[in-house]
Amino acid sequence: MNSQPRRTARPGGPPLVRPAAVLFDRDGTLVHDVPYNGDPDLVRPVAGAADAVRLLRAAGIPTGVVSNQSGIGRGLLTHRDVRRVNARVDELTGPFDVWTYCPHRPDEGCPCRKPRPGLVVEAAARLGVRPGDCTVIGDIEADVLAARTAGAEGILVPNARTRPEETRAEADPAPDLLTAVRRLLARPHPAGTAARVRGRTA
């Protein structure tokens, strides 16, 4: 609670550098949350979402989406419904390099359902990067825990449905999505990247 120490992105780790890839939660992070939404016409991006993704693409950083979609397991949605909504999110805020989602109910114990790490690990593999070199941005604790369990960095961008204790537990939550991405881009490049750049220009 209030007396607990705040978590940092990588306690005791090296200084943070630009990530090799950025993965976003979908509902509540990229777009306003419509529970079990299967209608592309109801997709509404959050403020700054398209600009945030555009900045990452301009910087050459791959992007992806990792999303729990238990409406499929509950019989409220089909895979086609989710893919149609994803396609609309892609049109309005992307395009993204990879999409992964978990269709299972919480009681099924699926290893890919956040806060478990499976979606993050899968997205990183499909992008050809290590999970530990990724940053995951989401609006609830499950997003951050999935990231950290996978060895990635997790950044919380709270909204109205984020529990106050989840926000208090984070050392440096971002006030909005665009600010979160700008903070990432303000970091130095990884040493290996800098060396490769120097090698090309020498």
Q: Catalytic: 27?
A: yes
Per-residue tokens: 193: 């990247």
Strand-pair partners of 100: 66
Contact 71, 27 (CB under 8 A): no
Q: Catalytic: 107?
A: no
Distances (CA, A) of 26 to 1, 8, 11, 15, 200: 27, 23, 26, 28, 36
Per-residue tokens: 91: 């049109």
User: Which sequence positions are flagged as catalytic?
Assistant: 25, 27
